[in-house]
Amino acid sequence: MRLEAWLSFSGIEISNAARASDYVRNGLAGAQASIPITGGCDCPDVDEGPYLSPGDDPAPWIDPARPESEQFLGLWASDIRIDSVIARRVTPRALGGASVGKMRPRHRIVSVTGLMLAQTAQGAAWGERWLTDILAGLIVGCAPDTMTLLLACPETGFTAPLRTLRQVGIVDGPTFGPIGEFAECKVQEVQFQVAAGIPHLLGDAVTCLPETELVGVS
């Protein structure tokens, strides 16, 4: 299943097509850049745009003590996919055929491929370090890391279908490709995979109201 190009890890936005598109459109990636960024929903549930620049907004990766952080323009996750989690054990029989076991859920894998965008090589290096640090895990106390996904852009008047995976951790990458140039923009491919120990795509938590005593009912 392929998802929209919006992604957060432990509450920190790591991919937002609308943000990246605005930065490119504002000329931050070079006046002649026309990088074909798609998938931005521009919906208030996930976006706080329009976006001006990483320093003005500010973007999640900004560090006031590191000027090069303003030269990184973000990750555009061009392809986010989640695998099926249903599996069965198949045991061969001595006389032929096989015995098919019960269905059981296994861990879920989220595979991400995208482009890292930056104004300078220093900005690209900062983006690599920032993304690597985020995916390494930001565990506070005993709380496990989470990943929030956007299944699809919502229709007008509907809430964005955000789903959260729990007990997640990086299992492959992030692997960064060589830095190339598109107009005046530094562009490099990145790939990584995250596994979720709890495979269910969880919606918003539901608060159960306390039971009320019915007066006058026998």
pLDDT recorded at residue 129:
93
For the whole model, what pTM was predicted?
Answer: 0.78
Show me where the domains of the chain are located. Answer: 2-86+102-202
Regarding beta strands 146-150 and 162-176, do their DSSP bridges make them parallel or antiparallel, or are they unpaired? antiparallel
Mean pLDDT of 28-36: 63
pLDDT-derived band at 112 (thresholds 50, 70, 90) equals very high
Percentage of the chain lying above the pLDDT 90 cut? 20
Beta-strand runs (E) in the chain: 2-3, 6-9, 12-16, 72-82, 86-92, 98-105, 108-118, 146-150, 162-176, 180-182, 185-202
pLDDT at 190 over 90: yes
pLDDT recorded at residue 158:
65
Decide if 15 contacts 114 (C-beta within 8 A): yes
Decide if 24 contacts 89 (C-beta within 8 A): no
What CA–CA distance (Å, rounded) separates 179 from 10?
28
**Structure tokens, 195:** 């596994």
| β partners of residue 115 | 76, 189
**Structure tokens, 72:** 């990184």
Pick the more confident residue, 210 or 163: 163
pLDDT recorded at residue 174:
93
Nearest alpha carbon to residue 136 among 194, 83, 178: 194
Mean pLDDT of 110-129: 91
**CA triplet 26, 122, 34: central angle to 5 degrees?**
30
Mean pLDDT of 112-141: 86
pLDDT recorded at residue 62:
94
pLDDT recorded at residue 218:
47
pLDDT at 47 over 50: yes
pLDDT recorded at residue 27:
74
What does pLDDT average to over the chain? 80
